[in-house]
A = this chain, B = another copy of it.
């Protein structure tokens, strides 16, 4: 048995330059015209840098964009569920130019790019195809609608990991690093648990079902930007740390993070989550209720169903679907709608709003809902927030992804 292959079937393709090559390119880059990139674009650049978007060599062309929007495949025929594009309003950039891509947050030069194509897209079409809505209340749609007038395609050379290495240390693992770790552990059947929220008992249950039947779980946190009010990565990370230390057997979990921003594209993003987990070496992606969703734009299990609709062989990494999970008093244990025959009244279900208000007020959460050690980390965080900040915070009670 061996690990799943990187997407496309070849080797990992990290676009990050290192050592002298990086220094030379950085020196050259400082003289190039600068294009400022958004937080989402910066995350994509870093993901391309570490090989998470293997086998892409940069940002997509118009025909790639069209194929991905309309049929989830690039011009080459390669399966890809969400456009990876770069935009600008700069009228002066022309095909053939070399440009430096600069973070809008840190002013750091993240990459250089040779512009192979400059094109205009139908943003509303992308939103309808990918997000199933053009409602700009949807944070992913808003990101597309806020893009520049032009998209720029081209191969990139990545020069930085944008501060993630410094901020998250060993937790910021590259696909090559998770693969090496899995091999050192002798793991081949690995479920990725995608998370952008702290893990309560319902999420622990999902991860443990995977552990019961596989070699281990990669608890894989999004370290990029979230919508306002989501729990910051460092708090999540601490909460996951106390959970695994106290409630998981040794050598069954690895906690790591990846640099992308959430797009909240629901089903399409679940496919992207599986795609890049294949690059990280995971054989399975746990897909629970409302995976990568936001608001009511997607049905609670649309992100599971979409895996049945893609052509066979699109991905080696497969979905491991799990239904809505909770503690049930009559079951006397964790369960899901597939394993519990009892009624809602027997189940401990707390809304996100309720959880947040309990934690902000220093109340203890029921032990059936959250481990006391986890609740304590969150309590500390919420109580450190100002009253005004607290109002904005929205903690989702059951969707981690």
Q: Which residues of A come within 8 Å of B, CB atoms?
A: 208-209, 211-213, 246-250, 252, 320-323, 331-341, 367-368
Contacts and interface: CB of A to CB of B under 8 A. Distances in A.
Contacts of A368: 332
B323 A248 contact: no
Contacts of A211: 338-339
A339 B213 contact: no
B339 A208 contact: yes
Given A213-B209, A249-B341, A333 B333 contact: yes
A246 B252 CA distance: 32
B252 A338 contact: yes
A333 B336 contact: no
A331 B243 CA distance: 11
A209 B339 CA distance: 9
Interface centre among A211, A249, A337 (most CB of B within 10 A): A249
A249 B339 contact: yes
Contacts of A335: 208
A169 B86 CA distance: 67
A240 to B, nearest CB: 15
A249 B335 CA distance: 10
Given A246-B341, A249-B338, A339-B249, A213 B331 contact: no
B212 A249 contact: no
Given A211-B339, A252-B338, A332-B368, 12 more contacts: A209-B209, A211-B338, A212-B336, A213-B213, A213-B321, A213-B322, A246-B341, A247-B331, A248-B341, A249-B337, A249-B340, A333-B333
Contact of A252 (B321, B332, B339): B339
Nearest to A367: B332
A279 to B, nearest CB: 24
Given A332-B367, A333-B334, A334-B333, A341 B247 contact: yes
Nearest to A331: B247
Contacts of A333: 333-334
23 contacts: A208-B339, A209-B209, A209-B212, A211-B338, A211-B339, A212-B322, A212-B323, A212-B336, A212-B338, A213-B213, A213-B321, A246-B341, A247-B341, A248-B339, A248-B341, A249-B337, A249-B338, A249-B339, A249-B340, A249-B341, A252-B338, A252-B339, A333-B334
